[in-house]
A = this chain, B = another copy of it.
């Protein structure tokens, strides 16, 4: 049985490893808001326990063993998010932090029974796929709002799970599966004006890079 801390590291390394191939000390440090020396320390421990492979001064990758744990935690996190929204009516932007704490303490028993209660859901409230019990995840085709051009119509499939971003999106009256159209896009900074429902909204590149979409008609 791993500690909360171990689980956090593995989860973050998994997440960071999705784009880049190898994950650096400083990237982990920034993500976990922990100093680099502390991360360096922990990396050695994770390496000794064979959760990661590791080349000093270079970077880190999850081993099969490490990935299995990361996916287990992610599975729990996402199942919990579904529960918090469907059964407790948690507001979108609070769901993440609550799941973040619960994911480390629930048992397999709890996980299985919750899965059943929720009807074996495949996606969480942000549109992320829920890994299966034996560690399989659907690989989402990544299309970011920022990749699209004027005239495109899209539906939101996923949103980066960050509280301020979620609050912003909520204020615009948007959410998962909402449809919107791109009205303008500035070439110098990538900012856009989008139309959703009857309203126009200004969206910076920082935001549009964190909204994932699928094209519609």
Contacts and interface: CB of A to CB of B under 8 A. Distances in A.
Interface of A: 84, 87-90, 94, 97-98, 101-102, 104-107, 109-110, 113-114, 117
Given A98-B110, A110-B98, A88 B105 contact: no
9 closest A-B pairs by beta carbon, nearest first, are A88-B113, A101-B105, A105-B105, A102-B105, A98-B107, A98-B110, A87-B117, A88-B117, A94-B109
22 contacts: A84-B110, A87-B87, A87-B117, A88-B113, A88-B117, A89-B113, A90-B109, A90-B110, A90-B113, A94-B109, A97-B107, A98-B106, A98-B109, A98-B110, A101-B105, A101-B106, A101-B107, A102-B102, A102-B105, A102-B106, A104-B105, A105-B105
Contacts of A113: 88-90
Contacts of A117: 87-88
Chain A binding surface SS class: helix
Contacts of A94: 109
A118 to B, nearest CB: 10
Nearest to A91: B109
A163 to B, nearest CB: 14
A101 B88 CA distance: 20
A82 to B, nearest CB: 14
A107 B94 CA distance: 10
Given A87-B87, A88-B110, 14 more contacts: A84-B110, A87-B117, A88-B114, A88-B117, A89-B113, A90-B109, A90-B110, A90-B113, A98-B109, A101-B105, A101-B106, A101-B107, A102-B102, A104-B105
Contacts of A89: 113
A106 B88 CA distance: 13
Contacts of A109: 90, 94, 98
A102 B84 CA distance: 14
A90 B114 CA distance: 10
Contacts of A107: 97-98, 101
A75 to B, nearest CB: 17
